């Protein structure tokens, strides 16, 4: 019979994906599901790791390459790059992009606004 985790040890949504991504980011190259599982050290089933890696691939967060009969995975971008992709995806889904950007900028802290202005100046020059 399969043992179930109780609610007190249940992972938060996305926690396992984040852990798998952290393993991929630390790697020097693409990893197999078995290598990811080994580096996680969480006693996860191999099929669970394969499922998470497949989901990350479907979301466009990880690339995979065929090697023999299995795949090896690597992240498509670093952590800041993935956050930027998520932000772009949200903007792309909004019918009034200008208003969303205006609201975003108006809600920035003074230091973030200063940083954004500096980054925009740098990208112009």
If pLDDT is split at 50, 70 and 90, which confidence band does 125 have?
confident
DSSP code for 31: B
pLDDT at 6 over 90: no
Mean pLDDT of 42-67: 94
If pLDDT is split at 50, 70 and 90, which confidence band does 8 have?
low
Number of H helices, E strands in the chain: 6, 2
Provide the strand spans (E) within the chain: 62-67, 70-75
From 49, 19, 44, 18, select the one nearest 32 (Cα to Cα).
Answer: 49
pLDDT at 42 over 90: no
Radius of gyration of the chain from its Cα atoms, rounded to whole angstroms: 19
pLDDT at 62: 97
pLDDT at 104: 93
């Amino acid at each position: 019979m399969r043992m179930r985790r109780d609610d007190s040890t249940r992972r938060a949504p996305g926690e396992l994906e984040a852990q798998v991504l952290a393993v991929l980011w630390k790697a020097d190259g693409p990893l197999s599901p078995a290598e990811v599982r080994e580096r996680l050290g969480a006693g996860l089933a191999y099929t669970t790791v394969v499922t998470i890696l497949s989901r990350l691939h479907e979301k466009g967060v990880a690339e995979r390459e065929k090697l023999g009969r299995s795949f090896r995975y690597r992240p498509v971008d670093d952590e800041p790059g993935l956050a930027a992709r998520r932000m772009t995806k949200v903007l792309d889904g909004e019918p009034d992009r200008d208003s969303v950007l205006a609201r975003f900028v108006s809600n920035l802290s003074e230091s973030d606004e200063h940083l954004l202005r500096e980054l925009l100046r740098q990208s112009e020059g």
